[in-house]
Amino acid sequence: MSPHDPPSELASLARALARETQRREWHGQRQAEREGPPIGPETEVGSVRSAQPEVSATEAPPGQRNPADALTKNQQNAARAANLTELQRGIEACRACDLCHSRKNPVFAKGDGSSGVTFLNLAPGAAEEASGSPLAGPPGDLLDKIIIQGMKLTPQKTALVSLVQCRPPEDRAPSQQEVELCSPWFQRQLELLKSRILVPLGGPCAGSLLGLNPDLESLRGRIHRPEGPPVVPTHHPRELLKTPAAKAACWEDIQLTMKELGLPGGT
Ligand code: SF4
C-alpha cells in the first residue's frame, strides 16, 4: 500500500492527533498547577468557607437544587452561627432559593431587640433592599413613630426582622417554599435577639408565620401562643398610611403587646 493511500493517511493523522492531545493535556495540567483553582463563583464561595468555616454557603445550580437538602443545609448553617455577625455572613452566602439570583443584597435584622419585642415584615421590597433594613421608607418611619410615641421606646431597643431575607423580583409575594427555605435564618435571628414577643405586620406576614389564613381581621386583636414566642398580628404600616382609620385597631394590638411585655401603658 502506498504511503499516500487514504487508510494509511488516516492512521497517521490519528496517531498525530493522539500525540497532540497528550501534549495538550500535560501542558494544561502543568498550567492548572501553576495557576491554582479557577476564579469565579466557586472560588468566591470557597473563600467565604475558608474565612468562616463554621457557616458554609448552600450552593447548587438553578433547577438542580433539592429543596429538602437546601433546607437541611440552611438549618445546619443557621444553627452553627454563634452570633448575629456570623449569621449575617451565612445569609449573604446563601444560594438556597432562586431569589439569590435577583437580589442585590439580603436584608438583615435591625435593632438590638433588648425590649423583647420583634416586629416582622414578610419580605423586602425595593426600599428595604436599597437601605438594607427589613422595613424602610414611609412605612418604616411610621413604625418608628408608633414605637417612640406609642410604646415610649427607642427603635434601637426593638428588633425588626424579615421572614424572607432576599427581595422577590418585581416585589411579588414570596412563595411558600421560599418562606420555608429561609425560615432557619429567620428563626435563628429571633433566637439570637432573644425575642419575647413577635408582632407580624400585615395579614400575609402573620398568616405565613402562624400557618393560618392570611386574613388579618381573623388573626389580629388577640395573642396567639404557638411554639416559641407569643404572636400579636397587627396592620402593616403601609396599610395604615392608606387607611388611617385602621390606626385605632393597630394601637389596640400594640397595647396588648405592651401588656404582655409588662411595659407601662399596656392594656
Ligand atoms: S431568600 Fe433566604 S433562602 Fe433564599 S437565597 Fe435568600 S437567604 Fe437564602
Per residue in 175-196, pLDDT (tens digit) is 999 999 999 999 999 999 999 9
The pLDDT assigned to 17 comes to: 43
Arithmetic mean of pLDDT, 238-262: 97
Nearest to 71 by CA among 41, 45, 97: 97
169 CA distance to ligand 1 middle (Å): 13
Q: Does 121 have pLDDT greater than 70?
A: yes
Q: Is residue 106 lining ligand 1, measured as CB closer than 6 Å?
A: yes
Enumerate domains of the chain plus CATH numbers.
106-261 (3.40.470.10)
Q: Is residue 93 lining ligand 1, measured as CB closer than 6 Å?
A: no
Q: Is residue 78 lining ligand 1, measured as CB closer than 6 Å?
A: no
Residues 7 and 1: beta-carbon distance below 8 Å: yes
| Radius of gyration from C-alpha coordinates of the chain | 27
The pLDDT assigned to 42 comes to: 30
Nearest to 232 by CA among 185, 265, 266: 266
Arithmetic mean of pLDDT, 35-62: 39
Burial class (CB in 10 A: 0-12, 13-18, 19+), 224: middle
Residue located via cell numbers 385597631: 249
Q: Does 89 have pLDDT greater than 90?
A: yes
Evaluate if pTM is beyond 0.75: yes
Q: Is residue 107 lining ligand 1, measured as CB closer than 6 Å?
A: no
Top mutation candidate among 65, 162, 181, 189 for ligand 1, by most atoms within 8 Å of CB: 181
The pLDDT assigned to 264 comes to: 87
Q: Does 126 have pLDDT greater than 50?
A: yes
The pLDDT assigned to 202 comes to: 98
Arithmetic mean of pLDDT, 102-113: 96
